[in-house]
Every structure is written in structure tokens, then in C-alpha cells.
């Protein structure tokens, strides 16, 4: 079998006819079992199921899950149409809204239409480039504090450590608050919420707040724990009565032609910021550290770049422009093990793209994880190769083939924040530490709200570099 190099021409996806149109095509369908369709297979192994269904049925396939038809899409051109070119025709599906309702309400992550646009316009200034770059020193300071708390040779769960770090960074940057004492509360609550909300995907009817099951009580307790943290932050800011220049202040005090945000909107968007502002980035960082531990030659090359640019000085935002390999490692990690492993959209009317018709309200499932493993997009996809991410390589990617932050109007508003945080933290870590897993340890891969290593975490051994600036003396 011929194996392509990263520089080899990519095989193409289905091409149109000579006039640029596609004939109407029947929708490939996986029937599964009577009544329940593919529900059990999907529940057992979501990552494996999504990969296998595309391998067996192609780039577009329909199957029944939880008594609903789901449409799995792997074709980059169709994905680009959904995310960008025809974005106005697509919304978050009813299934996703049902899952998120109790946790995130109608915040910017879950709302659609004018409600989404107004909230998005109020939040967007908090992620302008100049403001995000001003957060850089805080990110590095907290990363250094984490490293300084380590002892050479001791075991650490890097999933837990990086999540708590991300929560502390979130508090100082977006909320101008000290969230050190709340980090474990948020981390533990997010674990319960993620686990239970994904279980509820498989239920044909939403679980009401009052339902007396043990798992539902865990979910409500976890949501209320994070609400408690948020309420304290909002109360403190209102008591101060001034805009501290952070995003939370902006949401509390900002006004437009319709006035300010309602209490419910403030709550929903605050909860969204706590979730989206740390959880997916922390798990992306966790997977990057794992991949560096598995590929010591990449970790060493990354260290050499950081050391040549920064020496013993703390990493800063200006250094990043001189460290292209940091960006390449980040991009390859997001391709190989994306924390946002899947997202969903639904059309507001019947729509035909490339000959496939998607009915109004259809749940369309898109997986950046599966896209990253398609050799038509990425030659030798099972190889972790940061060097592939040249300008030429990126220009040659089909639009829609690499969407770790989605794309179009619904692209993650905090994309720039997350990317800068990943690069600064990675550079700070590798400047001081040799990525090392605990002996014999391999993490689980748990696809929930984000893909993470599960309850066992990412067990690592702390190994300081001999000349690490932050090594205990």
C-alpha cells in the first residue's frame, strides 16, 4: 500500500459535474436495530462509532440515535457551506439546546438569531486582540506559579493541574477576580455536569429539574455549585459599583439600545464564560502535554526553540512571533486530539448541499476529530507531525477540513484567547519541564462535552530540566 508523505498531493473529495452542479443523491443510511437504530453502538464507543460509520458509508450518512435521525457529515465542502456560506440557514439543533438548557440557558453558546447576535456583540469586545494580549503576563505568571509548586520526581495529574490553572487564569483575566479558592469547586462540578449531560443525550425526553434520580440530583448540585461561584463574583462587582475593565464588568454595566442584559442573560452568559473560558482550552492543553510526552523528539525541538528565543527569561507575547514551532505544535495537537471533538447544527428549512438533502430541523453531526484523521485532508494522519503546518500546507487544506473552533459567524469568540493561552502555557511548561508520563500510564479518551482523559486523569512524573529557570534550588 502506498503511504503518502506530508508533502504528497491530497486525494480529492467528490467532484461536481462539468457545469459545477451535483445531481441529487440518495442519502446513505445505516439502519441499525429496530426502533433504537444505532443508539447502543453510539453509546458504547462514540469516537469509534463516528469513525467507522464514515469508513463504511462515506462522507454523509444518516442513522437513528435516541429515536431521532442524525446526519453525520465528514465532507469539508458541505461543512464549509454549513458553517460559513449558508450559516444563516443553520442553528443549534433542538437536541443540543435541550442538553445545555439547565446549565447554560440561552447564553451566547446556545442562543440563535437576534438573541445570539445581541449577546455576541456585547461579549465580543472582551476578546479584541489588544485586550487578549494584555492578558498574556497573567497567563505566564500563573503558569510559573504552577510549575514552582512542583517537586522534582513527584507524581502529578496534569489534567487536574492544568484545569485548575485555566480556572485561575479565567478568573483573573475575564472576571478580574481571584478564583483560587473556587478552582476545585468548578473542576469537580464540571466533571459531574459533563458526564451526566452526555448521558442525557440518549434519553428520548428531557429530564426535568425536579426529577428525583441520583444522577439528576448530582447534575443540579453541580450546576448550583458553579452558579454559587458566579453569583459571588457578580455581587462583588456590583458592590464595587465600577467597571474594572474585565468582561464580567462589561456584561454587568454595558448598555445598548435595548438596555442591559437581564438577570437571566447575565447568569447564562456568566455560566457560558466559566465553561467555555477554561474547560475546552484546559483539555486541549492536557492533550498537547500528553502528545509531547509520547514524542520526546518533538518536545526537545520545542524546548530548543523556546530556549533560543527566551533563554531564562519568562515567555511573553512578543516572543511568540519568533517561535513558529510553538504554533505548529498547537495546531497539530488540535488536529490529532481536539478537545472540541464534535459539534452539531440544524437547518431552519429543507436544504440541499452537493446533492444531499437535509430536512428542516435535522441534527447534523460534525467531528473535528474524524476530520483530522481523514488522509484526504492530512496525509499520514496517525503520525504526530507538527512540521506539516507550513503556510503552503494550510493554503492547500480544503475549506472546512480543519475546524477546531468551528467557523463562520459561530466561530468560537474566544479563539484568540485560547490559542494565545495554549502557546504561552506550552512554552512556559517546556522551558522548565520534560513532558513525562507516569511509568506504564496511558490515559483514557472520554468524549463528553469536551474530549478529556477521564477520571484517571493524565498521570505524569515531574521532571525538571537541569537548567530550568524555575527548578527548585
For residue 63, give the 3-state DSSP assignment.
strand
pLDDT tens digits for 60-105? 999 999 889 999 999 999 999 999 999 999 999 988 888 888 888 9
Q: What are phi and psi of 176, to 5 degrees?
A: 50, 45
| CB atoms near residue 148 (< 10 Å) | 11
**355 touches 22 (CB < 8 A):** yes
Q: Cα torsion for 47, 404, 328, 330, to the nearest 10°?
A: -80
- The pLDDT, as a whole number, for residue 464 is 98
Its sign, for the CA torsion 243, 138, 389, 375, is negative
Q: Provide mean pLDDT across the span 206-227.
A: 79
Cβ neighbourhood burial of 438 (10 Å; 0-12, 13-18, 19+): middle
Which long-range contacts link 382-385 to residues 24+ away (Cβ below 8 Å)? Answer: 384/291, 384/294, 384/295, 384/298, 384/332, 384/336, 385/6, 385/332
Q: Provide mean pLDDT across the span 203-222.
A: 72
The grid cell for 71 is 446526519
Q: Mean pLDDT for the chain?
A: 90
Q: Indicate whether 384 pLDDT > 70.
A: yes
Question: Which residues 6+ apart lie within 8 Å of 271 measured at CB?
Answer: 103, 104, 105, 107, 226, 227, 230
Q: What are phi and psi of 2, to 5 degrees?
A: -75, 130
pLDDT tens digits for 93-151? 988 888 888 888 998 889 999 999 988 888 888 788 888 999 999 999 999 999 999 99
Amino acid at each position: 500500500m502506498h503511504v503518502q508523505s506530508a508533502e504528497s498531493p491530497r486525494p480529492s473529495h467528490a467532484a461536481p459535474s462539468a457545469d459545477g452542479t451535483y445531481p441529487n443523491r440518495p442519502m446513505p443510511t445505516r439502519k441499525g436495530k429496530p426502533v433504537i437504530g444505532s443508539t447502543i453502538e453510539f453509546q458504547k464507543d462514540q469516537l469509534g462509532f463516528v469513525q467507522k460509520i464514515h469508513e463504511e458509508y462515506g462522507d454523509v450518512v444518516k442513522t437513528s440515535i435516541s429515536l431521532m435521525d442524525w446526519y453525520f457529515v465528514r465532507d469539508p465542502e458541505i461543512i464549509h457551506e454549513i458553517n460559513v456560506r449558508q450559516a444563516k440557514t443553520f442553528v443549534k439543533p433542538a437536541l443540543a439546546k435541550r442538553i445545555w438548557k439547565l446549565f447554560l440557558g440561552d447564553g451566547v453558546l446556545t442562543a440563535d438569531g437576534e438573541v445570539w447576535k445581541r449577546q455576541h456583540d456585547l461579549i465580543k469586545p472582551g476578546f479584541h486582540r489588544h485586550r487578549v494580549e494584555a492578558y498574556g503576563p497573567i497567563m505566564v505568571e500563573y503558569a510559573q506559579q504552577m510549575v514552582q509548586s512542583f517537586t522534582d520526581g513527584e507524581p502529578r495529574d496534569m489534567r487536574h493541574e492544568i484545569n485548575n490553572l485555566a480556572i485561575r487564569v479565567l478568573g483573573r483575566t475575564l472576571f478580574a477576580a481571584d478564583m483560587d479558592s473556587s478552582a476545585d469547586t468548578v473542576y469537580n462540578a464540571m466533571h459531574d455536569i459533563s458526564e451526566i449531560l452526555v448521558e442525557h443525550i440518549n434519553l428520548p425526553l428531557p429530564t426535568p429539574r425536579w426529577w428525583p434520580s441520583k444522577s439528576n440530583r448530582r447534575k443540579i448540585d453541580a450546576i448550583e455549585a458553579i452558579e454559587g461561584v458566579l453569583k459571588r463574583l457578580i455581587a462583588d462587582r456590583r458592590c464595587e459599583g465600577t467597571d474594572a475593565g474585565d468582561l464580567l464588568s462589561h456584561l454587568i454595566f454595558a448598555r445598548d439600545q435595548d438596555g442591559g442584559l437581564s438577570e437571566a442573560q447575565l447568569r447564562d452568559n456568566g455560566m457560558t464564560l466559566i465553561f467555555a473560558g477554561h474547560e475546552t482550552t484546559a483539555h486541549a492543553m492536557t492533550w498537547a502535554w500528553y502528545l509531547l510526552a509520547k514524542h520526546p523528539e518533538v518536545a526537545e525541538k520545542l524546548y530548543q526553540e523556546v530556549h533560543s528565543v527566551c533563554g531564562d527569561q519568562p515567555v511573553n507575547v512578543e516572543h511568540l512571533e519568533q517561535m513558529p514551532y510553538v504554533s505548529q505544535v498547537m495546531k497539530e495537537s488540535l488536529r490529532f486530539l481536539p478537545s472540541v471533538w464534535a459539534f452539531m447544527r440544524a437547518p431552519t428549512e429543507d436544504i440541499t448541499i452537493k446533492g444531499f438533502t437535509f430536512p428542516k430541523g435535522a441534527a447534523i453531526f460534525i467531528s473535528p476529530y474524524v476530520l483530522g484523521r481523514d488522509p484526504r485532508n492530512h496525509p499520514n494522519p496517525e503520525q504526530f507531525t507538527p512540521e506539516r503546518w507550513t503556510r503552503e500546507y494550510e493554503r492547500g487544506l480544503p475549506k472546512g477540513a480543519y475546524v477546531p473552533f468551528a467557523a463562520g459567524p459561530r466561530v468560537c469568540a474566544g479563539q484568540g484567547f485560547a490559542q494565545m493561552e495554549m502557546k504561552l502555557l506550552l512554552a512556559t511548561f517546556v522551558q522548565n519541564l520534560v513532558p513525562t508520563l507516569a511509568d506504564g500510564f496511558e490515559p483514557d479518551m472520554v468524549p463528553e462535552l469536551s474530549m478529556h482523559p477521564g477520571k484517571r486523569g493524565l498521570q505524569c512524573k515531574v521532571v525538571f530540566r537541569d537548567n530550568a529557570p524555575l527548578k527548585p534550588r
